[in-house]
Amino acid sequence: MPARPVRRTALSLALVLLSAAPRSAAAAERSEIPDRYKWNLSELYADEAAWQKARADAAARLPSLSAFRGHLGDSPEALWKALDALFALDLDLTRLYVYASARSDEDTRAAGPRELKQAAQRLGVDFGAASSWIRPEIISLDAERVRAFQKAEPRLAPYRVYLEEALRWKPHTLSAAEENILAEAGNLTGAGQAAYGILKDADLPWPTVKLSTGVEARLDPATFSLHRASPARADRDLVFQAFFGAVKGFERTFGTTLDAALKAHLFNAKVRRFASPLEASLFRNNVPTSIYTQLIADVRRSLPTFHRYLKLRARLLGVEKLRYQDLYVPMVGAVDLSFKPDEARDITLEAFRPLGKDYVAALRKGYQSGWTDYLPSTGKRAGAYSTGVYGVHPYQLLNFNGKYDDLSTLAHESGHSMHTALAFAAQPYPTSDYPIFVAEVASTLNEALLFDHMLGKAKDEATRLALLGNRLDGLRGTLFRQTQFAEFELAVHQRVEKGEPVTGEALSRLYLEIVRAYYGHDQGVCQVEDLIAAEWAYVPHFYYDFYVFQYATSLVASSAIAAGIREEARRGTGTAARDRYLAMLAAGGSKFPVDLLKDAGVDMTTSRPFEAAIAAMNATMDEMEKLLARQKTK
Ligand SMILES: [Zn+2]
């Protein structure tokens, strides 16, 4: 749907949210950083004056869209002309936005770039308003007529997915009058989430604790994620007690805000004639609900593997009884390696060799031609993301500090960027944007290749152990924690569907029950104290209905694809698995996500890909236990 010209960027923002990267200490002023470590935005616009001119030009073209109104069904050519104008504007607005937001991210303090970004956002809103009639008008057309148009007009070929996507909504679209009421209701249904945001970000009196290091830390959600990984157990206890104590104090209010959001999800599902909020949410990406429920069943079935990991973690931390408070300190210790940006680039290019010469050459060229903004500087936006402009190339923002995690982030974002580059090269603009459901496959696959490569290269046992531990901790966070969230999310929606009361207290009881089952509390694997029950309350993702499961499914898909590529490389049996995968990347958004993955050899409607992820996790633990046994006998 090109209704918003900022889709790829919006996705990246959501991803940055989850990684919750701790704010890095700013190293330098941007002016002190050599140009070869900066992205080259002049390929988008020579200067700000050129941007302003392009903005004015796009703004002047917006009203012309209305000339097509009421005429989409006139002829195949009329439909093509309208879509052509729509997508040309969409591309221009994306370009304007990416430039403005990238400039603003370089120094978030600077007012000038921030104003550019606001101007681009305003234009995006105007574009949304000027084009909002197009999809409803397509939906109102007879589907057979639209398909006959496509047969008659070859220039409509790039718009096939867009048109099919619109027509798919036909059974869930209401009369014009009802749609108007729904649009008005949209102003009310966000109240729960809005109140949650204000409470969490502004009003809640977050506690301050004094750590054994002498540091006084105010524990809000961002600093909590930093200090919960404290190496001192007593500090972790203090941090968990104080943070969840504060959350618990507002359990009833958080319950009310989440209840309001859940009821909004149910309202939207009902009026649009979906069987459930789950179905309504997954319909947007055309993903069957069975994939969601199967993921939960697969993870539940694999809890013994998860418990094996938890026991190994207890052993490595040297604690007799593992507790939920002991999950965030690295199980081995940080990977004690450091890298210069140029070294990191070379390492990723080495690591991605299983993807073939062309892939590596294209990325090398990208690294050399201004795709990447590497280094942190004062005022620069925190975290990392990848975006891009069709007809130009991908752009990626990093805050590279030379640690292993930074290397891993470079691999991750380069995975997104190469996905973008390959899709740009192979697809027309309307199908160049890949769906969210497959986005994290390319990034996590490259992380897996990096891990293989680093493990193969690591000579000393301490580094090997740290790499293995880092990998396992990542799997815990992505595969098990996100699915545990997904299961809770499904359960609370079902509660609302059944008309059962949703209070903060009830949510806490339910949450604790699920977490205890996952962590083997009753079997003595990991102790989950009562205070953990309130954890659900501060997690923002429950307000985006059914989003987080995609982190787990992406990892499942990339594990299966990586296993296939690894296997054929080891056996020397050709490059079929690799070629299928690269073809999927190049296919961009030309198909629906489940079909894209099927083409890459991964059938997400079965449990097979999941087995590959669990096998990889077990192999990592086998390797670790072997190393530990050897250390013991020394
Ligand atoms: Zn990502």
Q: Which of 3-17, 114-128, 348-362 has the lowest mean pLDDT?
A: 3-17
Nearby residues of 181 by Cβ (< 8 Å), 6 or more positions away: none
If we measure between CA atoms, which residue out of 381, 440, 374 comes closest to residue 412? 440
Instruction: Give me ligand 1 centre to Cα 552, in Å.
Output: 12
If we measure between CA atoms, which residue out of 211, 208, 209 comes closest to residue 233? 211
Q: What is the pLDDT of residues 258-301, one digit of tens each?
A: 999 999 999 999 999 999 999 999 999 999 999 999 999 999 99
Q: What is the pLDDT of residues 321-339, one digit of tens each?
A: 999 999 999 888 778 889 9
Instruction: Give me ligand 1 centre to Cα 460, in Å.
Output: 30
Which one from 106, 413, 440, 487 is the annotated catalytic residue? 413
Instruction: Give me ligand 1 centre to Cα 59, in Å.
Output: 32
Instruction: Give me ligand 1 centre to Cα 409, in Å.
Output: 9
CA–CA gap between residue 535 and residue 593 (Å, rounded): 32
Q: Is the pLDDT of residue 23 over 80?
A: no
Which run of H or of E encompasses 627? helix 608-633
* Contact between residue 504 and residue 253 where contact means Cβ atoms under 8 Å apart: yes
Q: How confident is the model at residue 417 (pLDDT cuts 50, 70, 90)?
A: very high
Instruction: Give me ligand 1 centre to Cα 482, in Å.
Output: 15
Full-model pTM: 0.91
Nearby residues of 52 by Cβ (< 8 Å), 6 or more positions away: none
Instruction: Give me ligand 1 centre to Cα 396, in Å.
Output: 11
Mean pLDDT confidence for 451-480: 93
- Helix residue ranges, H only, 325-386: 341-351, 357-368
Is pLDDT larger for residue 351 or for residue 201?
351
Give percent helix, percent strand, percent coil of the chain, each to the nearest 5: 70, 5, 25
pLDDT of amino acid 6? 32
pLDDT of amino acid 10? 31
* Contact between residue 408 and residue 399 where contact means Cβ atoms under 8 Å apart: no
The identity of residue 98, as a single letter, is V
Active site residue 535: no
Average pLDDT of the chain to the nearest whole number: 92
pLDDT of amino acid 27? 61
Separation of first and last alpha carbons in the chain: 61
- Helix residue ranges, H only, 221-288: 221-227, 233-248, 251-271, 277-283
* Contact between residue 216 and residue 210 where contact means Cβ atoms under 8 Å apart: yes
CB atoms within 10 A of CB 235: 22
Instruction: Give me ligand 1 centre to Cα 630, in Å.
Output: 36
Compute the Cα dihedral for 276, 254, 513, 539 and give only its sign: positive
Q: 3-class SS at 4?
A: coil
pLDDT of amino acid 630? 87
Instruction: Give me ligand 1 centre to Cα 613, in Å.
Output: 18
Nearby residues of 160 by Cβ (< 8 Å), 6 or more positions away: 150
Eight-state DSSP code of residue 527: B
* Phi, psi torsion values for 390, nearest 5 degrees: -60, 135
Instruction: Give me ligand 1 centre to Cα 220, in Å.
Output: 24
Mean pLDDT confidence for 178-207: 90
